Structure 1
Protein backbone atom coordinates (compact mmCIF):
# COMPACT_ATOMS: atom_id res chain seq x y z
CA UNK A 1 0.00 0.00 0.00
CA UNK A 2 2.79 2.41 0.93
CA UNK A 3 4.69 1.63 -2.29
CA UNK A 4 1.53 2.12 -4.38
CA UNK A 5 0.98 5.54 -2.83
CA UNK A 6 4.63 6.63 -3.14
CA UNK A 7 5.13 5.36 -6.69
CA UNK A 8 1.87 6.40 -8.33
CA UNK A 9 -0.70 8.30 -6.23
CA UNK A 10 1.71 10.86 -4.73
CA UNK A 11 3.46 11.93 -7.97
CA UNK A 12 0.12 12.06 -9.82
CA UNK A 13 -1.45 14.26 -7.12
CA UNK A 14 1.54 16.59 -7.04
CA UNK A 15 1.48 16.84 -10.85
CA UNK A 16 -2.22 17.80 -10.77
CA UNK A 17 -1.47 20.50 -8.19
CA UNK A 18 1.41 21.87 -10.29
CA UNK A 19 -0.82 21.85 -13.37
CA UNK A 20 -3.42 23.87 -11.50
CA UNK A 21 -0.78 26.41 -10.55
CA UNK A 22 0.37 26.57 -14.18
CA UNK A 23 -3.07 27.93 -15.07
CA UNK A 24 -2.18 31.15 -13.23
CA UNK A 25 1.14 31.60 -15.05
CA UNK A 26 2.08 33.08 -18.41
CA UNK A 27 5.27 32.58 -20.41
CA UNK A 28 6.31 36.20 -19.80
CA UNK A 29 6.45 35.45 -16.04
CA UNK A 30 9.34 33.01 -16.50
CA UNK A 31 11.04 35.24 -19.06
CA UNK A 32 11.06 38.00 -16.46
CA UNK A 33 12.70 35.70 -13.90
CA UNK A 34 15.72 35.04 -16.13
CA UNK A 35 15.94 38.45 -17.80
CA UNK A 36 16.36 39.96 -14.32
CA UNK A 37 18.31 37.22 -12.52
CA UNK A 38 18.93 38.93 -9.17
CA UNK A 39 15.90 37.37 -7.40
CA UNK A 40 16.64 33.83 -8.59
CA UNK A 41 20.35 34.13 -7.71
CA UNK A 42 19.38 35.48 -4.28
CA UNK A 43 16.94 32.60 -3.83
CA UNK A 44 19.55 30.03 -4.79
CA UNK A 45 22.04 31.58 -2.35
CA UNK A 46 19.44 31.59 0.44
CA UNK A 47 18.37 27.99 -0.20
CA UNK A 48 21.70 26.37 -1.01
CA UNK A 49 24.14 28.26 1.25
CA UNK A 50 22.35 30.36 3.87
CA UNK A 51 19.88 27.69 5.04
CA UNK A 52 22.49 24.93 5.65
CA UNK A 53 24.74 27.49 7.35
CA UNK A 54 21.92 28.47 9.72
CA UNK A 55 21.32 24.78 10.48
CA UNK A 56 25.01 24.20 11.29
CA UNK A 57 25.11 27.20 13.63
CA UNK A 58 21.76 26.36 15.24
CA UNK A 59 22.46 22.75 16.23
CA UNK A 60 26.26 22.83 16.33
CA UNK A 61 26.46 23.98 19.95
CA UNK A 62 23.56 21.95 21.33
CA UNK A 63 23.71 18.66 23.24
CA UNK A 64 21.46 16.90 20.73
CA UNK A 65 22.37 13.41 19.57
CA UNK A 66 25.07 13.68 16.83
CA UNK A 67 22.88 11.86 14.32
CA UNK A 68 20.01 14.22 15.10
CA UNK A 69 22.34 17.09 14.26
CA UNK A 70 23.20 15.46 10.94
CA UNK A 71 19.46 15.01 10.36
CA UNK A 72 19.01 18.77 10.67
CA UNK A 73 21.75 19.40 8.11
CA UNK A 74 20.14 16.82 5.83
CA UNK A 75 16.72 18.49 5.92
CA UNK A 76 18.33 21.92 5.39
CA UNK A 77 20.22 20.61 2.36
CA UNK A 78 17.04 19.42 0.64
CA UNK A 79 15.22 21.58 -1.93
CA UNK A 80 11.75 23.05 -1.68
CA UNK A 81 8.93 21.51 -3.68
CA UNK A 82 5.25 21.48 -4.44
CA UNK A 83 4.29 22.67 -0.95
CA UNK A 84 6.37 25.85 -1.25
CA UNK A 85 4.92 26.46 -4.72
CA UNK A 86 1.38 26.13 -3.37
CA UNK A 87 1.98 28.43 -0.38
CA UNK A 88 3.48 31.00 -2.76
CA UNK A 89 0.44 30.63 -5.01
CA UNK A 90 -1.97 31.06 -2.09
CA UNK A 91 -0.15 34.16 -0.85
CA UNK A 92 0.10 35.57 -4.39
CA UNK A 93 3.88 35.65 -4.40
CA UNK A 94 6.09 35.31 -7.48
CA UNK A 95 5.06 31.78 -8.51
CA UNK A 96 7.33 31.70 -11.57
CA UNK A 97 10.31 32.49 -9.33
CA UNK A 98 9.29 29.82 -6.79
CA UNK A 99 8.81 27.11 -9.45
CA UNK A 100 12.15 28.01 -11.03
CA UNK A 101 13.91 27.83 -7.66
CA UNK A 102 12.33 24.45 -6.83
CA UNK A 103 13.39 23.01 -10.19
CA UNK A 104 16.97 24.32 -10.08
CA UNK A 105 17.44 23.35 -6.43
CA UNK A 106 16.24 19.82 -7.17
CA UNK A 107 19.09 19.45 -9.66
CA UNK A 108 21.79 21.25 -7.67
CA UNK A 109 21.27 19.07 -4.58
CA UNK A 110 22.71 16.15 -6.55
CA UNK A 111 26.06 17.79 -5.73
CA UNK A 112 25.42 19.94 -2.66
CA UNK A 113 23.46 17.48 -0.49
CA UNK A 114 26.23 14.81 -0.35
CA UNK A 115 28.73 17.60 0.38
CA UNK A 116 26.79 19.10 3.31
CA UNK A 117 25.84 15.74 4.82
CA UNK A 118 29.44 14.52 4.70
CA UNK A 119 30.68 17.74 6.34
CA UNK A 120 28.06 17.23 9.07
CA UNK A 121 29.06 13.59 9.54
CA UNK A 122 32.72 14.57 9.86
CA UNK A 123 32.01 17.36 12.35
CA UNK A 124 29.36 15.72 14.52
CA UNK A 125 30.04 11.99 14.19
CA UNK A 126 33.63 11.74 12.99
CA UNK A 127 32.81 9.58 9.97
CA UNK A 128 31.87 10.05 6.32
CA UNK A 129 29.56 8.30 3.89
CA UNK A 130 29.33 7.80 0.16
CA UNK A 131 26.03 9.25 -1.04
CA UNK A 132 24.87 8.87 -4.63
CA UNK A 133 21.50 10.46 -5.25
CA UNK A 134 19.53 8.84 -8.10
CA UNK A 135 20.08 11.23 -11.00
CA UNK A 136 17.52 9.64 -13.32
CA UNK A 137 14.67 9.65 -10.78
CA UNK A 138 15.48 13.24 -9.76
CA UNK A 139 15.36 14.37 -13.39
CA UNK A 140 12.16 12.39 -13.90
CA UNK A 141 10.51 14.03 -10.90
CA UNK A 142 11.47 17.54 -12.01
CA UNK A 143 10.32 16.81 -15.57
CA UNK A 144 7.07 14.93 -14.98
CA UNK A 145 5.92 16.38 -11.64
CA UNK A 146 6.93 20.02 -12.15
CA UNK A 147 7.90 21.01 -15.69
CA UNK A 148 5.30 19.23 -17.84
CA UNK A 149 2.26 19.97 -15.59
CA UNK A 150 3.20 23.65 -15.22
CA UNK A 151 3.83 23.97 -18.97
CA UNK A 152 0.51 22.26 -19.72
CA UNK A 153 -1.34 24.64 -17.39
CA UNK A 154 0.35 27.61 -19.06
CA UNK A 155 -0.64 26.36 -22.50
CA UNK A 156 -4.26 26.05 -21.38
CA UNK A 157 -4.15 29.61 -20.04
CA UNK A 158 -2.68 30.83 -23.34
CA UNK A 159 -5.38 28.98 -25.30
CA UNK A 160 -8.36 29.63 -22.97
CA UNK A 161 -7.35 32.58 -20.80
CA UNK A 162 -10.85 33.50 -19.63
CA UNK A 163 -11.53 29.92 -18.52
CA UNK A 164 -8.18 29.75 -16.69
CA UNK A 165 -8.93 33.00 -14.85
CA UNK A 166 -12.36 31.70 -13.77
CA UNK A 167 -10.78 28.48 -12.49
CA UNK A 168 -8.10 30.22 -10.40
CA UNK A 169 -10.18 30.86 -7.27
CA UNK A 170 -11.86 27.43 -6.92
CA UNK A 171 -8.57 25.71 -7.76
CA UNK A 172 -6.86 27.46 -4.83
CA UNK A 173 -9.18 25.61 -2.43
CA UNK A 174 -9.07 22.31 -4.34
CA UNK A 175 -5.26 22.28 -4.57
CA UNK A 176 -4.91 23.18 -0.89
CA UNK A 177 -7.20 20.29 0.10
CA UNK A 178 -5.29 17.91 -2.19
CA UNK A 179 -1.94 18.90 -0.71
CA UNK A 180 -3.24 18.69 2.86
CA UNK A 181 -4.50 15.19 2.08
CA UNK A 182 -1.06 14.29 0.74
CA UNK A 183 0.56 15.69 3.91
CA UNK A 184 -1.73 13.69 6.18
CA UNK A 185 -1.11 10.43 4.30
CA UNK A 186 2.65 10.98 4.03
CA UNK A 187 2.95 11.85 7.73
CA UNK A 188 0.83 8.81 8.61
CA UNK A 189 3.09 6.48 6.61
CA UNK A 190 6.27 8.12 7.87
CA UNK A 191 5.25 8.16 11.51
CA UNK A 192 4.06 4.56 11.32
CA UNK A 193 7.43 3.55 9.97
CA UNK A 194 9.69 5.85 11.97
CA UNK A 195 7.63 5.68 15.18
CA UNK A 196 8.68 9.11 16.40
CA UNK A 197 8.19 9.16 20.15
CA UNK A 198 6.89 12.02 22.30
CA UNK A 199 10.43 12.46 23.62
CA UNK A 200 11.64 12.99 20.06
CA UNK A 201 9.13 15.78 19.58
CA UNK A 202 10.12 17.42 22.88
CA UNK A 203 13.83 17.28 21.98
CA UNK A 204 13.61 18.14 18.27
CA UNK A 205 10.53 20.33 17.77
CA UNK A 206 11.89 23.57 19.34
CA UNK A 207 15.02 23.42 17.18
CA UNK A 208 13.04 22.45 14.07
CA UNK A 209 10.69 25.40 14.62
CA UNK A 210 13.68 27.71 15.19
CA UNK A 211 15.24 26.54 11.92
CA UNK A 212 11.98 27.05 10.04
CA UNK A 213 11.21 30.54 11.38
CA UNK A 214 14.83 31.73 11.54
CA UNK A 215 15.65 30.70 7.98
CA UNK A 216 12.47 32.32 6.65
CA UNK A 217 13.26 35.64 8.31
CA UNK A 218 16.88 35.42 7.12
CA UNK A 219 15.80 34.66 3.55
CA UNK A 220 13.38 37.58 3.62
CA UNK A 221 16.00 40.00 4.98
CA UNK A 222 18.57 38.89 2.40
CA UNK A 223 16.00 39.41 -0.36
CA UNK A 224 15.14 42.86 0.93
CA UNK A 225 18.80 43.74 1.52
CA UNK A 226 19.73 42.79 -2.04
CA UNK A 227 16.73 44.74 -3.35
CA UNK A 228 15.00 41.88 -5.10
CA UNK A 229 11.60 43.49 -4.46
CA UNK A 230 8.95 42.96 -1.78
CA UNK A 231 7.07 40.20 -3.56
CA UNK A 232 10.25 38.31 -4.44
CA UNK A 233 11.58 38.62 -0.89
CA UNK A 234 8.69 36.83 0.79
CA UNK A 235 8.63 34.33 -2.09
CA UNK A 236 12.27 33.48 -1.34
CA UNK A 237 11.38 33.23 2.34
CA UNK A 238 8.66 30.67 1.61
CA UNK A 239 10.98 28.62 -0.61
CA UNK A 240 13.58 28.55 2.18
CA UNK A 241 10.98 27.58 4.79
CA UNK A 242 9.65 24.38 3.19
CA UNK A 243 11.93 21.44 2.45
CA UNK A 244 11.41 18.14 0.63
CA UNK A 245 11.10 15.94 3.72
CA UNK A 246 10.38 12.81 1.68
CA UNK A 247 13.81 13.14 0.05
CA UNK A 248 15.48 13.60 3.45
CA UNK A 249 13.80 10.43 4.73
CA UNK A 250 14.87 8.50 1.63
CA UNK A 251 18.50 9.59 2.04
CA UNK A 252 18.51 8.84 5.79
CA UNK A 253 16.84 5.44 5.57
CA UNK A 254 17.86 4.02 2.20
CA UNK A 255 21.29 5.56 1.57
CA UNK A 256 22.62 6.17 5.08
CA UNK A 257 20.56 3.44 6.81
CA UNK A 258 19.98 5.62 9.85
CA UNK A 259 16.46 5.99 11.27
CA UNK A 260 17.52 8.62 13.82
CA UNK A 261 18.29 11.11 11.04
CA UNK A 262 14.95 10.33 9.40
CA UNK A 263 13.01 11.27 12.55
CA UNK A 264 14.13 14.90 12.13
CA UNK A 265 12.50 15.04 8.70
CA UNK A 266 9.31 13.39 9.99
CA UNK A 267 8.93 15.97 12.76
CA UNK A 268 9.92 18.86 10.49
CA UNK A 269 7.34 17.90 7.88
CA UNK A 270 4.56 17.61 10.48
CA UNK A 271 4.22 21.38 11.00
CA UNK A 272 6.19 23.35 8.40
CA UNK A 273 3.39 23.68 5.83
CA UNK A 274 1.28 25.55 8.39
CA UNK A 275 4.09 27.52 10.05
CA UNK A 276 5.58 28.55 6.69
CA UNK A 277 2.18 29.69 5.41
CA UNK A 278 1.64 31.70 8.60
CA UNK A 279 5.10 33.31 8.66
CA UNK A 280 4.84 33.99 4.91
CA UNK A 281 1.51 35.72 5.49
CA UNK A 282 2.98 37.82 8.31
CA UNK A 283 5.90 38.87 6.11
CA UNK A 284 3.52 39.75 3.30
CA UNK A 285 1.45 41.88 5.69
CA UNK A 286 4.62 43.56 6.95
CA UNK A 287 5.66 44.40 3.40
CA UNK A 288 2.21 45.68 2.50
CA UNK A 289 1.78 47.84 5.59
CA UNK A 290 5.37 49.10 5.75
CA UNK A 291 5.90 49.96 2.09
CA UNK A 292 2.76 49.82 -0.03
CA UNK A 293 0.36 51.59 2.34
CA UNK A 294 2.88 54.23 3.40
CA UNK A 295 3.82 54.93 -0.21
CA UNK A 296 0.18 55.57 -1.06
CA UNK A 297 -0.47 57.85 1.94
Structure 2
Protein backbone atom coordinates (compact mmCIF):
# COMPACT_ATOMS: atom_id res chain seq x y z
CA UNK A 1 0.00 0.00 0.00
CA UNK A 2 1.20 3.48 -0.87
CA UNK A 3 -0.19 5.70 1.87
CA UNK A 4 1.55 8.79 0.45
CA UNK A 5 1.49 10.50 3.83
CA UNK A 6 1.82 14.22 3.23
CA UNK A 7 2.15 13.96 -0.54
CA UNK A 8 -1.14 15.78 -1.17
CA UNK A 9 -0.53 18.49 1.40
CA UNK A 10 1.77 20.17 -1.13
CA UNK A 11 0.18 22.43 -3.72
CA UNK A 12 1.47 24.56 -6.56
CA UNK A 13 -0.14 27.89 -5.80
CA UNK A 14 -1.26 29.94 -8.80
CA UNK A 15 -2.16 33.60 -8.89
CA UNK A 16 -5.00 34.71 -11.21
CA UNK A 17 -2.38 36.13 -13.59
CA UNK A 18 -0.48 32.84 -13.70
CA UNK A 19 -3.72 30.94 -14.23
CA UNK A 20 -4.35 33.11 -17.28
CA UNK A 21 -0.82 32.39 -18.50
CA UNK A 22 -1.49 28.66 -18.08
CA UNK A 23 -4.68 28.91 -20.14
CA UNK A 24 -2.94 30.83 -22.91
CA UNK A 25 -0.06 28.34 -22.84
CA UNK A 26 -2.50 25.47 -23.22
CA UNK A 27 -4.14 27.13 -26.22
CA UNK A 28 -0.74 27.82 -27.84
CA UNK A 29 0.25 24.18 -27.42
CA UNK A 30 -2.96 22.86 -28.95
CA UNK A 31 -2.92 25.44 -31.75
CA UNK A 32 0.64 24.40 -32.63
CA UNK A 33 -0.37 20.72 -32.67
CA UNK A 34 -3.32 21.55 -34.94
CA UNK A 35 -1.10 23.42 -37.40
CA UNK A 36 0.58 20.10 -38.14
CA UNK A 37 -2.65 18.16 -38.66
CA UNK A 38 -3.81 17.58 -42.21
CA UNK A 39 -6.86 15.82 -43.51
CA UNK A 40 -4.65 13.17 -45.10
CA UNK A 41 -3.45 12.30 -41.60
CA UNK A 42 -6.81 10.60 -41.16
CA UNK A 43 -6.46 8.49 -44.31
CA UNK A 44 -5.91 5.25 -42.38
CA UNK A 45 -9.38 5.67 -40.87
CA UNK A 46 -10.79 4.89 -44.30
CA UNK A 47 -8.12 2.38 -45.37
CA UNK A 48 -8.00 0.31 -42.18
CA UNK A 49 -10.93 1.30 -39.96
CA UNK A 50 -10.54 -1.74 -37.73
CA UNK A 51 -6.89 -1.08 -36.91
CA UNK A 52 -7.57 2.60 -36.26
CA UNK A 53 -10.66 1.95 -34.13
CA UNK A 54 -8.79 -0.66 -32.11
CA UNK A 55 -5.85 1.67 -31.63
CA UNK A 56 -8.07 4.50 -30.46
CA UNK A 57 -9.91 2.14 -28.09
CA UNK A 58 -6.60 1.02 -26.59
CA UNK A 59 -5.75 4.66 -25.86
CA UNK A 60 -9.13 5.99 -24.76
CA UNK A 61 -10.49 2.97 -22.88
CA UNK A 62 -7.73 0.41 -22.43
CA UNK A 63 -5.10 2.58 -20.72
CA UNK A 64 -7.48 4.33 -18.28
CA UNK A 65 -9.05 0.98 -17.37
CA UNK A 66 -5.66 -0.62 -16.71
CA UNK A 67 -4.64 2.49 -14.78
CA UNK A 68 -7.68 2.12 -12.54
CA UNK A 69 -6.76 -1.52 -11.98
CA UNK A 70 -3.22 -0.51 -11.02
CA UNK A 71 -4.60 2.13 -8.65
CA UNK A 72 -6.85 -0.42 -6.99
CA UNK A 73 -3.88 -2.75 -6.50
CA UNK A 74 -1.47 -0.15 -5.13
CA UNK A 75 -3.94 2.08 -3.27
CA UNK A 76 -1.94 5.32 -3.70
CA UNK A 77 -2.68 8.69 -2.15
CA UNK A 78 -5.69 10.44 -3.78
CA UNK A 79 -3.57 13.07 -5.53
CA UNK A 80 -1.13 10.47 -6.86
CA UNK A 81 -4.06 8.49 -8.28
CA UNK A 82 -5.44 11.68 -9.82
CA UNK A 83 -2.10 12.27 -11.57
CA UNK A 84 -2.13 8.73 -12.94
CA UNK A 85 -5.68 9.17 -14.22
CA UNK A 86 -4.94 12.55 -15.81
CA UNK A 87 -1.91 11.14 -17.63
CA UNK A 88 -3.87 8.10 -18.84
CA UNK A 89 -6.66 10.37 -20.10
CA UNK A 90 -4.44 12.71 -22.12
CA UNK A 91 -3.94 12.22 -25.85
CA UNK A 92 -0.66 11.04 -27.28
CA UNK A 93 1.80 13.62 -28.51
CA UNK A 94 4.00 14.10 -31.55
CA UNK A 95 6.86 12.44 -29.65
CA UNK A 96 5.18 9.10 -30.35
CA UNK A 97 5.43 9.78 -34.10
CA UNK A 98 9.15 10.48 -33.83
CA UNK A 99 9.82 7.37 -31.74
CA UNK A 100 7.80 5.29 -34.19
CA UNK A 101 9.94 6.62 -37.04
CA UNK A 102 13.17 5.91 -35.17
CA UNK A 103 12.04 2.36 -34.37
CA UNK A 104 11.02 1.66 -38.00
CA UNK A 105 7.36 1.40 -37.10
CA UNK A 106 4.38 2.38 -39.25
CA UNK A 107 4.61 6.18 -39.11
CA UNK A 108 1.43 6.80 -41.13
CA UNK A 109 -0.56 4.68 -38.65
CA UNK A 110 1.04 6.53 -35.74
CA UNK A 111 0.25 9.93 -37.24
CA UNK A 112 -3.38 8.92 -37.85
CA UNK A 113 -3.83 7.81 -34.23
CA UNK A 114 -2.17 10.97 -32.91
CA UNK A 115 -4.36 13.14 -35.13
CA UNK A 116 -7.55 11.43 -33.96
CA UNK A 117 -6.59 11.52 -30.27
CA UNK A 118 -5.59 15.19 -30.51
CA UNK A 119 -8.83 16.24 -32.22
CA UNK A 120 -11.03 14.20 -29.88
CA UNK A 121 -9.15 15.43 -26.77
CA UNK A 122 -11.42 18.48 -26.45
CA UNK A 123 -14.27 16.22 -25.34
CA UNK A 124 -12.69 12.88 -24.48
CA UNK A 125 -9.96 14.11 -22.10
CA UNK A 126 -12.12 16.06 -19.61
CA UNK A 127 -14.89 13.43 -19.66
CA UNK A 128 -12.35 10.66 -19.13
CA UNK A 129 -10.65 12.44 -16.23
CA UNK A 130 -13.91 13.02 -14.36
CA UNK A 131 -15.28 9.55 -15.08
CA UNK A 132 -12.21 7.57 -14.01
CA UNK A 133 -11.47 9.83 -11.04
CA UNK A 134 -14.92 9.02 -9.69
CA UNK A 135 -14.20 5.28 -9.85
CA UNK A 136 -11.62 5.51 -7.04
CA UNK A 137 -13.21 6.65 -3.79
CA UNK A 138 -10.28 8.66 -2.31
CA UNK A 139 -9.70 10.55 -5.57
CA UNK A 140 -13.41 11.19 -6.01
CA UNK A 141 -13.47 12.69 -2.51
CA UNK A 142 -10.39 14.77 -3.31
CA UNK A 143 -12.01 16.20 -6.45
CA UNK A 144 -15.06 17.09 -4.35
CA UNK A 145 -12.89 19.00 -1.85
CA UNK A 146 -11.27 20.89 -4.72
CA UNK A 147 -14.76 22.13 -5.59
CA UNK A 148 -14.41 21.16 -9.25
CA UNK A 149 -17.75 21.77 -10.93
CA UNK A 150 -18.04 19.06 -13.63
CA UNK A 151 -20.06 21.25 -16.00
CA UNK A 152 -17.72 24.20 -15.72
CA UNK A 153 -14.69 21.94 -16.03
CA UNK A 154 -16.05 20.27 -19.17
CA UNK A 155 -17.06 23.54 -20.82
CA UNK A 156 -13.84 25.38 -19.97
CA UNK A 157 -11.55 22.50 -20.93
CA UNK A 158 -13.43 21.74 -24.14
CA UNK A 159 -13.24 25.42 -25.07
CA UNK A 160 -9.55 25.70 -24.27
CA UNK A 161 -8.80 22.64 -26.38
CA UNK A 162 -11.39 22.81 -29.17
CA UNK A 163 -10.99 26.47 -30.16
CA UNK A 164 -7.25 26.34 -30.92
CA UNK A 165 -7.64 22.94 -32.61
CA UNK A 166 -10.35 24.20 -34.96
CA UNK A 167 -8.44 27.41 -35.70
CA UNK A 168 -5.16 25.58 -36.27
CA UNK A 169 -6.60 22.91 -38.54
CA UNK A 170 -8.60 25.47 -40.52
CA UNK A 171 -5.49 27.58 -41.05
CA UNK A 172 -3.49 24.51 -42.05
CA UNK A 173 -6.16 23.63 -44.62
CA UNK A 174 -6.84 27.04 -46.14
CA UNK A 175 -3.48 28.78 -45.67
CA UNK A 176 -0.94 26.00 -45.93
CA UNK A 177 2.12 28.20 -46.37
CA UNK A 178 1.20 30.54 -43.52
CA UNK A 179 0.48 27.56 -41.26
CA UNK A 180 3.88 26.07 -42.08
CA UNK A 181 5.63 29.32 -41.19
CA UNK A 182 3.68 29.72 -37.97
CA UNK A 183 4.35 26.12 -36.98
CA UNK A 184 8.07 26.61 -37.53
CA UNK A 185 8.13 29.52 -35.08
CA UNK A 186 5.55 28.25 -32.60
CA UNK A 187 6.94 24.72 -32.27
CA UNK A 188 9.95 25.80 -30.16
CA UNK A 189 7.60 27.97 -28.08
CA UNK A 190 5.27 25.04 -27.42
CA UNK A 191 8.24 22.78 -26.70
CA UNK A 192 9.64 25.35 -24.25
CA UNK A 193 6.27 25.50 -22.50
CA UNK A 194 6.23 21.71 -22.21
CA UNK A 195 9.78 21.48 -20.86
CA UNK A 196 9.22 24.44 -18.56
CA UNK A 197 6.10 22.89 -17.08
CA UNK A 198 7.85 19.59 -16.43
CA UNK A 199 10.84 21.36 -14.84
CA UNK A 200 8.64 23.59 -12.67
CA UNK A 201 6.49 20.64 -11.63
CA UNK A 202 9.56 18.55 -10.86
CA UNK A 203 11.38 21.28 -8.96
CA UNK A 204 8.33 22.31 -6.94
CA UNK A 205 7.74 18.71 -5.90
CA UNK A 206 11.38 17.59 -5.71
CA UNK A 207 11.05 16.47 -2.10
CA UNK A 208 8.11 14.27 -3.07
CA UNK A 209 9.70 12.93 -6.27
CA UNK A 210 12.80 11.64 -4.58
CA UNK A 211 11.39 10.68 -1.20
CA UNK A 212 11.57 6.92 -0.49
CA UNK A 213 8.37 7.31 1.55
CA UNK A 214 6.18 7.86 -1.50
CA UNK A 215 7.71 5.47 -4.08
CA UNK A 216 6.71 7.74 -6.96
CA UNK A 217 9.57 6.79 -9.27
CA UNK A 218 8.83 3.02 -9.22
CA UNK A 219 5.13 3.84 -9.45
CA UNK A 220 5.54 5.95 -12.59
CA UNK A 221 7.92 3.42 -14.14
CA UNK A 222 5.41 0.63 -13.51
CA UNK A 223 2.50 2.69 -14.83
CA UNK A 224 4.40 3.59 -17.99
CA UNK A 225 5.47 -0.02 -18.53
CA UNK A 226 1.81 -1.05 -18.27
CA UNK A 227 0.96 1.59 -20.89
CA UNK A 228 3.60 0.36 -23.36
CA UNK A 229 2.55 -3.25 -22.77
CA UNK A 230 -1.12 -2.37 -23.29
CA UNK A 231 -0.36 -0.88 -26.70
CA UNK A 232 1.76 -3.83 -27.78
CA UNK A 233 -0.73 -6.45 -26.55
CA UNK A 234 -3.67 -4.63 -28.17
CA UNK A 235 -1.81 -4.64 -31.49
CA UNK A 236 -0.96 -8.33 -31.17
CA UNK A 237 -4.57 -9.13 -30.25
CA UNK A 238 -5.70 -7.35 -33.43
CA UNK A 239 -3.07 -9.31 -35.40
CA UNK A 240 -1.49 -6.16 -36.75
CA UNK A 241 1.75 -6.30 -38.71
CA UNK A 242 5.04 -5.80 -36.85
CA UNK A 243 5.52 -2.10 -37.74
CA UNK A 244 2.00 -1.31 -36.49
CA UNK A 245 2.71 -3.15 -33.24
CA UNK A 246 5.57 -0.74 -32.65
CA UNK A 247 3.39 2.23 -33.56
CA UNK A 248 0.63 1.33 -31.15
CA UNK A 249 3.14 0.55 -28.41
CA UNK A 250 4.35 4.15 -28.57
CA UNK A 251 0.91 5.66 -29.08
CA UNK A 252 -0.39 4.18 -25.83
CA UNK A 253 2.86 4.49 -23.88
CA UNK A 254 3.59 8.12 -24.78
CA UNK A 255 1.10 10.62 -23.37
CA UNK A 256 0.98 14.43 -23.49
CA UNK A 257 2.20 15.08 -19.94
CA UNK A 258 2.45 18.80 -20.67
CA UNK A 259 -1.28 18.96 -21.30
CA UNK A 260 -1.86 17.00 -18.11
CA UNK A 261 0.21 19.48 -16.08
CA UNK A 262 -1.65 22.43 -17.56
CA UNK A 263 -4.99 20.89 -16.65
CA UNK A 264 -3.84 20.10 -13.12
CA UNK A 265 -2.45 23.59 -12.57
CA UNK A 266 -5.36 25.45 -14.11
CA UNK A 267 -8.33 23.26 -13.14
CA UNK A 268 -7.37 21.14 -10.12
CA UNK A 269 -5.55 23.56 -7.83
CA UNK A 270 -2.07 22.15 -8.41
CA UNK A 271 -2.39 19.15 -6.08
CA UNK A 272 1.19 18.18 -5.22
CA UNK A 273 0.88 14.42 -5.69
CA UNK A 274 -0.83 14.76 -9.07
CA UNK A 275 1.63 17.37 -10.35
CA UNK A 276 4.60 15.29 -9.16
CA UNK A 277 3.39 12.13 -10.89
CA UNK A 278 2.64 13.94 -14.14
CA UNK A 279 5.96 15.82 -14.17
CA UNK A 280 7.87 12.61 -13.48
CA UNK A 281 5.94 10.82 -16.23
CA UNK A 282 6.92 13.62 -18.63
CA UNK A 283 10.59 12.83 -18.07
CA UNK A 284 10.38 9.06 -17.76
CA UNK A 285 8.16 8.14 -20.73
CA UNK A 286 10.58 9.74 -23.20
CA UNK A 287 13.53 7.98 -21.55
CA UNK A 288 11.71 4.65 -21.66
CA UNK A 289 10.63 5.37 -25.23
CA UNK A 290 14.22 5.72 -26.44
CA UNK A 291 15.15 2.51 -24.59
CA UNK A 292 12.39 0.76 -26.53
CA UNK A 293 13.66 2.25 -29.78
CA UNK A 294 17.07 0.77 -29.01
CA UNK A 295 15.54 -2.62 -28.27
CA UNK A 296 13.51 -2.60 -31.49
CA UNK A 297 16.54 -1.58 -33.55
CA UNK A 298 18.67 -4.17 -31.79
CA UNK A 299 16.10 -6.84 -32.58
CA UNK A 300 16.12 -5.80 -36.24
CA UNK A 301 19.90 -6.02 -36.38
CA UNK A 302 19.94 -9.40 -34.67
CA UNK A 303 17.31 -10.72 -37.07
CA UNK A 304 19.28 -9.38 -40.03
CA UNK A 305 22.50 -11.01 -38.86
CA UNK A 306 20.70 -14.31 -38.28
CA UNK A 307 19.34 -14.28 -41.81
CA UNK A 308 22.76 -13.52 -43.27
CA UNK A 309 24.41 -16.33 -41.32
Normalised TM-score (structure 1): 0.71
* 2:150 maps to 1:138: no
Residues 242-251 or 263-272, more deviating: 242-251
1:199 to 211, 215, 220: 211
Inter-CA distance 131–71: structure 2 relative to 1 (3 Å threshold): farther
Root-mean-square deviation (Å): 4.2
* 2:100 maps to 1:91: yes
Inter-CA distance 217–116: structure 2 relative to 1 (3 Å threshold): same
Contact 1:67 1:261 in 2 (8 A): yes
What's 1:272 paired with? 285
1:15 to 31, 34, 57: 31
Aligned pairs, how many?
277
What's 1:149 paired with? 168
Inter-CA distance 13–223: structure 2 relative to 1 (3 Å threshold): same
Contact 1:223 1:233 in 2 (8 A): yes
Contact 1:42 1:222 in 2 (8 A): yes
For residue 60 of structure 1, report the CA deviation from its aligned partner: 2.7
Q: Measure the CA separation in 2 of the matches of 1:259 and 1:202.
A: 12
Inter-CA distance 178–230: structure 2 relative to 1 (3 Å threshold): farther
Inter-CA distance 283–221: structure 2 relative to 1 (3 Å threshold): farther
Which blocks of at least 5 consecutive residues in structure 1 are unaligned?
none
Q: Measure the CA separation in 2 of the matches of 1:111 and 1:8.
A: 21
Contact 1:230 1:287 in 2 (8 A): no
What do residues 30-86 of structure 1 show as CA deviations (whole Å, max 9, x unaligned)?
23324532122212221122212322333433364344234323332x2224xx224
For residue 289 of structure 1, report the CA deviation from its aligned partner: 6.2
Q: Measure the CA separation in 2 of the matches of 1:292 and 1:274.
A: 26
Q: Measure the CA separation in 2 of the matches of 1:60 and 1:150.
A: 39
SS in 2 for 1:119: coil
Inter-CA distance 195–148: structure 2 relative to 1 (3 Å threshold): same
What do residues 195-252 of structure 1 show as CA deviations (whole Å, max 9, x unaligned)?
6533179610111011112211221221132034444333332222233435544555
Q: Measure the CA separation in 1 of the matches of 2:187 and 2:295.
A: 20
